[in-house]
Amino acid sequence: MKPGYRYIDEIAPADQAFEAWGASLEELFCSCAKATFEVMTDLSKVEPEKSFAIEIETETLDELLYLFLSEIIYLKDTERSFYSEFDLRIEAGNEFRLSGKVSGEKIDSERHVLKTDVKAVTYHQFQVKKRKDGYYARVVLDL
């Protein structure tokens, strides 16, 4: 399965919903991160100039994805940056643990056209599932 995502308009008209998928958890989380930032700007124009380390540990896979997306939205707001590359490792044991880095650059209004702003991830219809061919998620973003 090739990783990817698609936007869904009919789930939450005032917000932005998407489905994402990947053969591994890492691919799924990267697809979700890209879908989150592509809502805001054209990711092909975001260079990976600066990286931030991320580490998250929690009891459930759903919560891990929710916290990861919340963290990168928080970084976008506090660092005034967009992120286009995601190097992640996910370990599953008694708890789920994500470690890795996100890379991007400061928002430049001359190069980065702001389509909309993502305020937060919501729990509305939020889900992460393992399927025969990999992993799937549905996410609704608060705009």
- pLDDT digits 0-9 by tens, 22-42: 999 999 999 999 999 999 999
130 is written with which tokens? Answer: 């393992």
- Whose tokens are 């992460």? That residue is 128
Domains of the chain: 4-142 (3.55.10.10)
> How far out from the chain centre does Cα 27 lie?
11
> With contact defined as beta carbons under 8 Å apart, do 121 and 73 qualify?
yes
Average pLDDT, the chain: 96
Instruction: Check whether 11 has a pLDDT greater than 90.
Output: no
Close Cβ partners of 27 (under 8 Å, ≥ 6 residues apart): 3, 21, 134, 135
Instruction: Check whether 14 has a pLDDT greater than 80.
Output: no
Q: Is pTM beyond 0.85 here?
A: yes
Instruction: Check whether 131 has a pLDDT greater than 80.
Output: yes
What is the Cα–Cα distance from 49 to 125, expressed in whole angstroms?
A: 34
Specify the pLDDT at position 139.
98
Q: Which residues are 51's β-sheet partners?
A: 103
Half-sphere exposure (CA, 13 Å, Cβ side) for 63?
9
pLDDT band of residue 17 (cuts 50, 70, 90) is very high
| Burial bucket for residue 101 (CB in 10 Å: 0-12, 13-18, 19+) | middle
H or E stretch including 33?
helix 25-38
